[in-house]
Amino acid sequence: MKKLIVILLAVAAVFGMTSCNSSSPSKVVTSYYKALQAGDLEKAMTYTDLTSDEEIQKQIEKFNTFEIKVQNFEVVSETIADDGNSAVVEVKQTVTSAFNSEPKEDTKKLNLVKVDGKWKIHE
């Protein structure tokens, strides 16, 4: 019985740590870009601070209309403000779109804010 409790506590601790990590600004940005790479725009929007259906659909329409697609990305840096409520994550991204005949590589700074204790990309 004692062993079982120890195992359960260990499992809980691992899950706890995992969830902490997934809510860091860099992790949120990584999840956002991975969802974009996979073409799952609905999922990508869950990492943003957009809440109304109208806003979300408008943003998805922008991705679709301009054929904006993520080819590659890499989180370069993360800066959390002293008050812990906002952050900036710098991402090196390679993107294709209707505007570019060739993939464009640049660095994008994403602003994040804490909404109900969770990091969200500010759109």
Partner 1 sequence: MNRVSTFLLLISLIFTGCHKKVTPVEYVLPDTVQLQSGDLAFRTGISKESRAVTTLDRNSIYTHVGMVVWTDDGWRVLHAVPNERASKQEEDSVKLEPIGTFFRSDRAEKGGIYRYPLTPKDTQQLREHALALYARHPLFDNLFDVQDTIAFYCTELVYFLYLQELQIDLSEGRRHNLPLYPDLIFCTDVSRNSKLQEVWSFH
Instruction: Tell the smallest beta-carbon distance from residue 99 to partner 1 (Å).
Output: 6
Structure tokens at 34: 């991975």
3-state secondary structure (DSSP) of residue 16: helix
Give whichever of 44 and 87 is closer to partner 1, judged by the CB atom: 44
Residue 42 makes contact with partner 1 by CB under 8 A: no
Separation of alpha carbons 60 and 47, rounded Å: 13
The 3 state secondary structure assigned to 35-86 is HHHCCCHHHHHCCECCCCHHHHHHHHHHHHHCCCEEEEEEEEEEEECCCCCE
Give whichever of 22 and 97 is closer to partner 1, judged by the CB atom: 97
Residue 95 makes contact with partner 1 by CB under 8 A: yes
**Binding residue (CB under 8 A) for partner 1 from 4, 19, 52, 101:** 101
Using the rule CB under 8 A, give the single segment among 5-13, 17-25, 99-107, 111-119 that binds partner 1. Answer: 99-107
Separation of alpha carbons 74 and 63, rounded Å: 20
The site for partner 1 (CB under 8 A) is made up of: 36, 59, 61-63, 65-68, 70, 93, 95, 97-102, 104, 106, 108, 123
